[in-house]
Amino acid sequence: MSVAGEPLREEVSRQLVHLGQHGQPLHPGSGRSTLDLYADDRRRDRTLQEVIEWYLDLAEPDRDGHCAAIISAGPPGAGKSTALRERHLVDTSYRYLDADIVKDELLRRAIADGHYADLLSTTLADAHPIAPRELAALVHAESTEVIDDVREVCLQRRENVVIEGTLQWGPLGDILMAQLSEHDYTDVRIVDVEVPASIAHEQAVRRWWEGRIRGISGQDRMGGRFTPPAAIARLYEQGSVSRCAAHARAAFESSLAAAITQVTLIHIDQRLGAEPLVSRRVDGKLVEGR
């Protein structure tokens, strides 16, 4: 099928933004989140444990004894996964820890339980209904809980891990450093990928729209994952570089990071040149970069 033009894409985007506002059904506080829907379900803890086990069964990474971790940082739409792949920063010994994968499974289970039928039959401006991944905000809280538990299991196993995320929440950097230090990780790389706000917006919208088109054509029934423009704009309130960069730097410089044998900060920003800026600490001492 042909891809609809940009005006229609923008109209569908505006509709989803509206539906995600306070008082609307896609808002996490609408009473439609899985946290609310299953609040009185005594089996819910067991279900979430099943999701944890399902996630762990998705991969069986090699345990090479290296105890390495990669933490991704940067705004949605920056191209973090692409940067990791193109710069060959990850090999097959790593397990990806990605809350978006958990969201998909939570959505599949909620839909199978009979929830969200009305939302999934709501037609948008492109004459097609809301797609499952466009409900992602409704499973955000539980997906965070599940991926936190998955991460703890993987760190106890001392697997090599890629902790996917944005570091938009400042305290998370220290939380991760404390956990990695507690489990005797010796090599941690923080990979911060930055782009101008306009590019983050455009790439996030394009990724969502292409996913929506795949869903409509039957290639991926989950569709695209929508990121509200305001969620990206908030990351740039302090200037032209997202606050994720400051949080990545703070995690690198923290006293908690000093307890890890080697910590490296890799800052990738095309505005600063093709080559990344690299800073490295060994046993708490700066040995490269700044």
Residue 238 falls inside a structural domain: yes
Q: Structure tokens of 114?
A: 């009979």
Strands (E), the chain: 68-73, 94-97, 160-163, 187-194, 262-269, 277-282, 285-288
pLDDT of 4 reads 54
Query: What is the model's pTM?
Result: 0.94
> Cα torsion at 211, 143, 19, 129 (round to 10°)?
40
Total number of domains in the chain: 1
Residue 76 burial by CB count (10 A; 0-12/13-18/19+): exposed, middle or buried? buried
Residue 67 falls inside a structural domain: yes
Residue 172 falls inside a structural domain: yes
Residue 180 falls inside a structural domain: yes
Q: Which domain holds residue 96?
A: 6-288
Residue 86 falls inside a structural domain: yes
Parallel/antiparallel/unpaired status of strands 277-282 and 285-288: antiparallel
Place of tokens 């969201």: 103
Residue 156 · residue 230 · CB < 8 Å: no
Residue 1 falls inside a structural domain: no
In three-state secondary structure terms, 193 is strand
Residue 278 · residue 234 · CB < 8 Å: no
Residue 19 falls inside a structural domain: yes
Q: DSSP string covering 258-286, please?
A: GGSSEEEEEEEEGGG-SSPEEEEEETTEE
User: Rounded to whole angstroms, how far apart are CA atoms 48 and 149?
Assistant: 10
Residue 228 falls inside a structural domain: yes
Q: Structure tokens of 234?
A: 């908030």
Per-residue pLDDT of the chain in tens (290 residues, 90 and over written 9):
444 578 999 999 999 999 999 999 999 999 999 999 999 999 999 999 999 999 999 999 887 778 999 999 999 999 999 999 999 999 989 999 999 999 999 999 999 999 999 999 999 999 999 999 999 999 999 999 999 999 999 999 999 999 999 999 999 999 999 999 999 999 999 999 999 999 999 999 999 999 999 999 999 999 999 999 999 999 999 999 999 999 999 999 999 999 999 999 999 997 887 789 999 999 999 999 98
pLDDT of 2 reads 43
User: Rounded to whole angstroms, how far apart are CA atoms 139 and 107?
Assistant: 7
Domain CATH code at residue 151:
3.40.50
Tell me phi and psi for residue 194, to 5 degrees.
-120, 140
User: Rounded to whole angstroms, how far apart are CA atoms 140 and 14?
Assistant: 21
